[in-house]
Amino acid sequence: MELSIIIVNYNVKHFLEQCLHSVLNASKGISSEIFVVDNNSVDGSVQLVKEKFPQVKIIENEINVGFSKANNQAIRIATGKYILLLNPDTVVEEHTFSKVVQFMEQRPETGGLGVKMIDGKGNFLPESKRGLPTPWVAFYKMFGLSALFPRSKRFGKYHLTYLDKSKIHEVDVLAGAFMLLRREVLDKVGMLDENFFMYGEDIDLSYRITKGGYKNYYFPETTIIHYKGESTKKGTLNYVKVFYSAMIIFAQKHFSSGKANTFSFLLQLAIWFRAILSVVQQAFEKMVLPIADALLMYGGYLFMTPLWENFKYEPSYYPPFFMNTVVPVYIFIWLTSIGLSGGYKRPVSLYLLLRGVFWGTITILLIYSLVGEDFRFSRALILMGTIWAAVILVLYRLLFHWLKPKRFRLDLKNIKRIAIVGHLNEATRVKSILKQTRIKSEFAGFISLNSEFGGEDYLGPIHKLSEIVRINGINEIIFCAENIPSADIIHAMLELSTLDVDFKIAPPESISIIGSNSIHTSGDLYVIPINSLLKPGNRRKKRFFDIAAATVIIFLSPAIIWLFKRKLLFYKNVFDVLWGKKSWIGYTKNTTTDSELPDIKPGILSPADIFPLETTPEEDADARMRLNMLYARNYSIMADAEIIAKGWRKHDK
């Protein structure tokens, strides 16, 4: 066996599916085996692998044992000359495996190999090549010097930013997302250290490889997509604690006691520094808008109050108590109302902001009507304050949005203009999925791989992709993975990486569309909403309906049994439903996508029993799949009742 590919998965079913498709394509022509080690996922990942990828060897863990231990489980039984540790949120090119294996064969001194990685926007990921995080290297990284001086050999060692990313280089550390290892090297230096639960294990193993007399290489002659999860965001205190704790384990394991103590001290200092920074940053982010709102509203009263006094009464008509106490109370009520209305949520909603101002004004006027005469100053100033708040708060939010600081973008719910790249049949299928996902989008048209398209929806061929994007104002492209090699998708992403375009990939025979930067970020995964049957309430309703319908049918059976040819089977079906072995309504049979659907009991009938399928044999499976998805997504008791009523002649099937 030449190559063993090991993928550790935890609750990223749709990304795993896309990854496995690309891995199978890249494995053609290479003697290989594929392992998926699942760390107790609850999203149907295991079922997906078993049904769609029967050639993959799967290891099912009953608990999340961590990255290192899960990989070691597969390494122990792998038979390949080379071991590839691969993340499930990756897409490899068709020639990736052949190229990296060839490089390893030509350079026997190579113990480990990493490749060029890009994110879902086509941007280069600096962790593709890394230096050893010695105390000083870690210090430069933690305190921002590496970012300030990326070309410096002294300060840029963490991500080796002074090295050309398009050339082969010897490096210290390989990325765990794609880590090709020589089996004989693992036998010599050992497998992953299971003391590292998450983070640090790749640094530890890379260091042991170099200590064992081998070399690690960065190999940019093939590129992979790495979507990168945000389950532990790098800006959070949790990430800092987990990552730097792993670094402390590394330091205590490999450095001398003096150097390890220095490193540990620096890391502990960094944890406290980042903790304080994180608290200050979070407080600033939460308070900056309310404080700015308060200052602007108070400034408005400083300007309006003298004008109103001069117009209506006389200068200094209102006592200092009004500006020092009453106006701050008004402002506090408005701010509280805006907050309760959701006006300070991100992205900022102008509707929620104005709703908060309105209800704040109603509250102030109600209080005004209840207090004594000594505290009633002017309804007119309250109304003027309302108008001022509504205008100025909206205007400066629009200004912030125009300046485009990421933290203050408005929730304008812009409609995406989406183009689909692929052959006609597959592109049409993906367009249908896009419609069913119910995202707000505008279909711009199809981009062809050849000249098969025509009509008003045809935008042009793929070799004019950059021009098509600019002319048609497209801000999202969906690639049909069944038609387009991963290498061509990655090439297109690199070509358009300077444009403001999002990319997504539609795996073959799937109801998911995957893309952009993160495996945990909202908006980066389009899936047909089939959650109706997943709701516990609907599960209970379905079971209640099964019992009620079975009871009624048993009661009517003396009169209707003579309408059925297979009377014993009729009664068996009724009692199977009553005892919970079956349901009256299940999915249509002979489909290939059941792993995408909520689990339900086998049915006596199905939606296909009342909706005749006017399709060819080749289209039959797709038609049945669509019926299943519609049933799961739009489940109701009335739907079950309709199917039973219209399909009653098949109760004995």
Query: Are residues 188 and 101 part of one domain?
Result: yes
Residue range 88-101, pLDDT digits in tens = 999 999 999 999 99
User: Is there a contact between 80 and 178 (Cβ–Cβ < 8 Å)?
Assistant: no
Query: Are residues 542 and 616 part of one domain?
Result: yes
pLDDT at residue 268, as a whole number: 66
Query: Are residues 103 and 66 part of one domain?
Result: yes
Residue range 425-449, pLDDT digits in tens = 899 888 888 877 667 788 899 998 8
- Any idea which of 23-27, 333-337, 449-453, 455-459 has the lowest mean pLDDT? 449-453
Query: Are residues 192 and 65 part of one domain?
Result: yes
Q: Check pLDDT > 60 for residue 594.
A: no
**Residue 375 falls within a domain, yes or no?**
yes
Say which amino acid occupies 315: P
What's the N-to-C CA distance of the chain in angstroms? Answer: 49
Residue range 133-185, pLDDT digits in tens = 776 776 777 667 787 888 887 888 878 888 899 999 999 889 889 999 999 99
pLDDT at residue 179, as a whole number: 94
Query: Are residues 445 and 317 part of one domain?
Result: no
Residue among 548, 383, 477, 587 at smallest CA distance from 122: 477
User: Is there a contact between 433 and 511 (Cβ–Cβ < 8 Å)?
Assistant: yes
Query: Are residues 433 and 305 part of one domain?
Result: no
- Which CATH number fits the domain that encloses residue 14? 3.90.550.10
pLDDT at residue 534, as a whole number: 66
pLDDT at residue 495, as a whole number: 86
Over residues 571-578, mean pLDDT: 88
Query: Are residues 521 and 540 part of one domain?
Result: no
pTM for the structure as a whole? 0.66
Query: Are residues 430 and 398 part of one domain?
Result: no
pLDDT at residue 377, as a whole number: 87
Q: What does DSSP say about strands 82-86 and 178-182: parallel, antiparallel, or unpaired? A: antiparallel
Count CA within 13 A, CB hemisphere, residue 590.
9
pLDDT at residue 384, as a whole number: 93
Alpha carbon of 651 to those of 566, 576, 591: distances in Å?
A: 9, 12, 22
Residue among 132, 135, 116 at smallest CA distance from 124: 116
**Residue 149 falls within a domain, yes or no?**
no
Higher pLDDT pick, 117 / 284: 117
Q: What are phi and psi of 490, to 5 degrees?
A: -65, -40
- CA–CA gap between residue 49 and residue 9 (Å, rounded): 11
Tell me the percentage of the chain whose pLDDT exceeds 70: 81
Higher pLDDT pick, 618 / 623: 623
Residue among 441, 448, 376, 450 at smallest CA distance from 414: 441
Q: Check pLDDT > 60 for residue 237.
A: no
Q: Check pLDDT > 50 for residue 618.
A: no
449-470 core/surface letters (b: 16 or more CB in 10 A; e: else): beeebeeeeebbebeebeebbe
Range of the domain at 102: 3-129+165-229
Query: Are residues 86 and 25 part of one domain?
Result: yes
User: Is there a contact between 408 and 293 (Cβ–Cβ < 8 Å)?
Assistant: no
User: Is there a contact between 71 and 85 (Cβ–Cβ < 8 Å)?
Assistant: yes
Provide the strand spans (E) within 90-214: 90-91, 110-118, 169-171, 178-182
- CA–CA gap between residue 525 and residue 512 (Å, rounded): 7
Confidence of residue 570 (pLDDT cuts 50, 70, 90): confident
User: Is there a contact between 60 and 74 (Cβ–Cβ < 8 Å)?
Assistant: no
- CA–CA gap between residue 133 and residue 159 (Å, rounded): 10
Query: Are residues 488 and 377 part of one domain?
Result: no
Residue among 265, 249, 21 at smallest CA distance from 136: 265
pLDDT at residue 256, as a whole number: 62
Q: Check pLDDT > 90 for residue 11.
A: no
Residue range 394-413, pLDDT digits in tens = 998 888 877 766 566 676 65
H-run or E-run covering 538: helix 536-560
The DSSP symbol for 323 reads I
Q: Check pLDDT > 60 for residue 520.
A: no
Higher pLDDT pick, 202 / 412: 202
pLDDT at residue 171, as a whole number: 92
Residue-averaged pLDDT of the chain? 82
Q: Check pLDDT > 60 for residue 231.
A: no
Confidence of residue 615 (pLDDT cuts 50, 70, 90): very low
